[in-house]
């Protein structure tokens, strides 16, 4: 699924600007988390979890593609490798910090182990909120000028 999502993001980049691809990735992540946190405990795999895996693959691939485009369009061509590495590092830090926040929510909304599923769902609700905020912030604040440079300057 990840390879399909990467190919799809490469095809979509011709038709949409990076901020819209980034917003689509954030919304796909939010939708995947929403599907996971609303799964009934005894539901079959294909009903909600399989579509979640598809949406879950779209989110990171779209976000990574758009982030790389934004970084490469805002630096000299000779510094694009450094910018790409920096963006990859920032994305990894963001994932780690988000995981820490989710763990904190799970611990502090703990029902003393009585309703373990609800504890995990609370962390997923945080993820939905964070992904939705990312989509809104992207649409409101991210503007990428068209790269009109030629050659390796």
Residue 57 lies in a domain: yes
CA–CA separation, 149 and 129 (whole Å) = 38
148 confidence band (pLDDT: 50, 70, 90): low
Least confident of 11-15, 36-40, 84-88, 102-106: 11-15
Residue 40 lies in a domain: yes
Residue 152 lies in a domain: no
Give backbone dihedrals phi and psi of 75, rounded to 5 degrees, phi first.
-135, 165
Mean pLDDT of the chain: 87
- Sign, CA torsion 54/60/63/64: negative
Residue 109 lies in a domain: yes
Mean pLDDT score, 51-79: 87
Residue 116 lies in a domain: yes
Q: Which domain holds residue 81?
A: 2-141
Does residue 147 register a pLDDT over 80?
no
Residue 84 lies in a domain: yes
Residue 44 lies in a domain: yes
Does residue 114 register a pLDDT over 80?
no
């Amino acid at each position: 699924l990840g390879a399909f999502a990467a190919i799809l993001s490469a095809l979509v980049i011709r038709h949409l600007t990076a901020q819209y691809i980034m917003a689509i990735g954030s919304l796909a992540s939010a939708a995947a988390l929403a599907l996971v946190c609303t799964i009934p405990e005894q539901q079959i795999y294909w009903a909600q979890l399989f579509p979640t895996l598809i949406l879950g693959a779209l989110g990171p691939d779209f976000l990574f593609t758009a982030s790389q485009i934004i970084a490469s369009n805002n630096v000299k061509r000779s510094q694009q490798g450094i910018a790409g590495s920096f963006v990859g590092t920032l994305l990894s830090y963001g994932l780690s910090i988000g995981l820490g926040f989710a763990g904190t929510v799970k611990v502090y909304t703990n029902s003393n182990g009585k309703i373990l599923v609800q504890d995990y769902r609370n962390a997923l609700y945080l993820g939905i909120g964070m992904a939705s905020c990312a989509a809104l912030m992207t649409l409101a604040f991210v503007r990428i000028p068209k790269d009109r440079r030629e050659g390796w300057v």
